[in-house]
Chain A
């Protein structure tokens, strides 16, 4: 007993050190995959405020650039309007009920980026809108030039987005010119490229091909720009190609984003659970 006591007295500092380190590791590994999510709910409230105030001041220096990019995007969107298009149908005699032809699937919530990083292994982007504005986890986030990431957590006023530049981020992507699709993820090396996986070797791909979202994940609408093929490698001992994609979003320079809200997600989830139960039976 005395020896045990002596041991504790002699090594009390080391024991304290180990105990505190254990506490830190508990914090780090508590939440498994998204280590951060739960903690951020508390943290965002405080740090979100600080970043918000700071960004509010810093934003004035970039007003010109912001408005330029917004004008550019408006011009593009105008070109997409039905009024800007010529109806090229030959059988124009056929009457179709246009009011029922298109059903709104995605709506967009605009948000401002108040914090951003590109040099860590999980890069989080904080937005200045949260649950009060309708943002919930699992929503896709896009910028004018391409996809940005996925919402992982939201407080009342702020949201945390895991950007494409994160080790846990995955999105279903396809080539624009054909329907071949695969998984896109980041390899941690550069903030401008990502890897497209699971593309079979027989697929005709060449450098410069456009990669867009497949729309399978319900997170992003179909055909949202991701990037262009930068490099293709074919290993003889692998069944799939190694496709490096140059991302179209400039992650070092995102100021305003759109959070995509899928209005028909619930219906699809219902279908999902239905098929699951029938498969189990």
Chain B
């Protein structure tokens, strides 16, 4: 890519906005996923008693919905990211590409 175009895009306020918004969002989601997963792993390591607690009168323990929730949350977080990227970030990207021409 020509240096001139690179300079023009990096100094474009829309580009700066896209980068700062997406970077903040992507890393926030990453940290959230890390907290959820390693929280679960630490619970497995240190909180066996808690995970083994029964819900109500049956044999189902609290660990079952928590484990399933981590799987479901991973999918939901991915969905939230994709939804915002498909609309907001793609619109900003289109604007930058237009302005770079």
| Binding between chains A and B | no
Q: Which B residues have a C-beta under 8 Å from some C-beta of A?
A: none
